[in-house]
Structure 1
């Protein structure tokens, strides 16, 4: 049987207990994250013939909340009315915020003090971090949000692991990671055989445990980064770890342990691009996260991704994305206003 870490084991889940989960949904939350946790638990209940797992959909006010696909979900209750849960998952876009942060963040902290494992999936890590409950904990952050998250919360330690089981909370990088986390809950309640059966119900090919790293795309190729040759994969990791002060190709090659010429040749064979061109793309994608998910001025964003001024960054940004950073930010904000107006 898989080794279950202490935080989940301390929930006291077994086949004779009942565990209640809450899903705190913010406007525009990713629906897949909700169903990825619930469906394995529903299947486990069905296999067992009884409801070991129960759940509630919660919103800040108790009103209906729409997902990113604009499908409305009626909440069972308001956050202020939640009394006792074994686990509470925050599901949100990165810019999800409470309308009344003082009261709602206080409620989250109250629940955590009284034994609720307050957790987050995907963009839900942003409002969870804003509550202060992730202080001194390592967080699993989806690769496409990591730059924006680290810019807003530089004091928090992040990881590329798909799941992190912390002292008082769990974080899952995305919907598939949430499915894996849910399977671990099934294992606690019913054992490994039941967990495997549930996974097979959904044709879930492998069950990932904490410590497994996220898959990330190798940009402008059909492959993923960890399927690349070892030196290329290591170089890509160095690119991601050195955005503000970019390394030269020669320095990257030295750290990887090959000549610059060998790295250049291998990189082109694996990706169809030069190391320098790929590195610029990594920095531009990081810049786009900051443009869309933060309100940082363009000068600060340019410096954060290794440009000396916003003009040169904007020129490369337009060449790659087809719109300027200012236009991207305006379009994102217009979409949110249009969607919220539609929902109201």
Structure 2
């Protein structure tokens, strides 16, 4: 359970201060906020009876979402100790700083006061960049996990679950997972009846636990078993240095034999074959969409030997990686790889 720091006498047990980044994700913010609102309400009046929240800003200026809708702050930054949690809602990954210096300073003051910090969507990037995820793990959307690992190689990134509670840090993949995170907090601070009421009104069947896999169909088909879905997400996160199936099974919490059986039931294929196919699908996408050399693509997808990569690629797609790239170069000359890359690619013909 998340520990609540001391707040002013009479304060509600769950009071969230929201920090919205530039180009924040509206869906993650609204699903988090509406779960709080419905859990707090009595008599369908949107009352702040059981919990409270504010949108914080040092300037009071409107904050633009990634959808172009602007949200007005409701309170100044002030003293972070008036909140039980501070949640940073991220959005588009831009070169421009997502928060101003006053907001970053506020987060550090909240941390110094022992206030739990929450990173929603790419809010995990903001916390990491501010030095507030040191010696911790972070839950990141599968869509952004490669970006996170490139920017913060010393922070282990988890993209096989909805959210992750690590002491007084909570990081969430975003999207509908924000409602699950809010429900998690509501249940712990207000009780199960408040959680059930909030979710039922939103037409959400149940609150998913933190460890539930993020929604993803890596093989192009729906997979219903959570263990297989998590295994596929783990595979996607370990392309350049493929893991042993026994290691993946261990991380999922079952034996390798059981994972083999579940894969066959769910996908009609074995885990090893599915893993190879995921790596080849990524390789094909990189051949088509990037100007990276084929050697670089082969290594980054776990095929360090050119002949093996070329053979596997041809078996999967009916064409060699070199021939596929040459065909793209002929039809879209502007996207053709530079000469030094083309020379390297010759060995994959």
Give the TM-score normalised by the residue count of structure 1: 0.68
| Residues matched between the structures, number | 297
- Deviations along 1:267-304, one digit per CA (max 9) or x if unpaired, are 98469xx744432224567x69x98xxxxx95797454
1:10 and 2:4 matched: yes
Report the counterpart of residue 83 of structure 1 in structure 2: 79
- Deviations along 1:24-81, one digit per CA (max 9) or x if unpaired, are 1122211011111111211122227653322222346432122121111122356xx4
Report the counterpart of residue 29 of structure 1 in structure 2: 24
Change in CA separation of 1:180 and 1:247 when aligned onto 2, cut-off 3 Å: closer
Change in CA separation of 1:234 and 1:174 when aligned onto 2, cut-off 3 Å: closer
Gaps of 5+ in 1: 292-296, 328-344
Report the counterpart of residue 191 of structure 1 in structure 2: 191
Deviation at 1:93, TM superposition (A): 2.2
Report the counterpart of residue 217 of structure 2 in structure 1: 217
Which protein shows a greater Rg? Answer: 2
Q: Could you say what secondary structure the match of 1:47 adopts?
A: coil
**Residue pairs, 1:1-344, within 5 angstroms:** 5=1, 7=2, 9-11=3-5, 17-18=11-12, 19-47=14-42, 50-59=48-57, 61-77=59-75, 81-84=77-80, 85-93=83-91, 95-96=93-94, 98=97, 104-159=103-158, 160-221=160-221, 223-224=222-223, 226=225, 236=232, 239-245=235-241, 269=268, 275=274, 276-282=276-282, 298=292, 302=297, 304-306=300-302
Contact in 2 for aligned 1:94/1:125 (Cα 8 Å): no
Change in CA separation of 1:266 and 1:55 when aligned onto 2, cut-off 3 Å: closer
CA distance, structure 1, for counterparts of residue 151 and residue 205 of structure 2: 35
Report the counterpart of residue 333 of structure 1 in structure 2: none
Q: Could you say what secondary structure the match of 2:122 adopts?
A: helix
Deviation at 1:256, TM superposition (A): 5.5
Change in CA separation of 1:148 and 1:186 when aligned onto 2, cut-off 3 Å: same
CA distance, structure 1, for counterparts of residue 118 and residue 333 of structure 2: 36
Structural RMSD (CA): 4.6
CA distance, structure 2, for counterparts of residue 120 and residue 243 of structure 1: 26
Deviation at 1:178, TM superposition (A): 1.4
Q: Could you say what secondary structure the match of 1:205 adopts?
A: coil
Contact in 2 for aligned 1:29/1:68 (Cα 8 Å): yes
- Deviations along 1:171-219, one digit per CA (max 9) or x if unpaired, are 1112322111212232234321222122211121111223333232134
Deviation at 1:113, TM superposition (A): 0.6
